[in-house]
Structure 1
Amino acid sequence: MYNRFGTDADMVIQPVQENGQEFLLAIDDKGLYITSSVYVGKSKADPNRYTAARANVADRLKALGLDPV
């Protein structure tokens, strides 16, 4: 099911550990983003999908040893 503002479970690629916390690497039509399980499958907007929140995703992924491409 397409969710324009929220994050669905089928959008999640994998969990990632960053600074001792677990986040989720997800993808939508605009590309990769990092979110929290708090927003997955909920009927509310995920602020991590907004443009400003994506600004440093590539750098965060590189720091975690992941390829942001």
Structure 2
Amino acid sequence: MLFRDLKAYQHALRVAALSRPLIKRLPTVEHDLADQWRRASNSIALNLAEGITRLEGVPAVRRYGSRIAA
């Protein structure tokens, strides 16, 4: 199973995309918050991709059950 096939990964990409215009609306004094929000929203998809690629030799569905397919 490729990480791109995971619904969680697809949702994570959407969260990151939906966050961008909201982050831009933050006041400039909230630069630290904007930076943290940007990094956190991107990190979700990156962590999912990293985690699924570490499942060498073990089918993801067998290891995690139906949670991946849900």
Greater fraction of residues in strand: 1
TM-score of the two chains, using structure 1 as the length reference: 0.27
**1 or 2 for the larger relative contact order (CA 8 Å, sep ≥6)?**
2
Q: Using structure 2 for the length normalisation, give the TM-score.
A: 0.26
Q: Which has the higher helix share?
A: 2
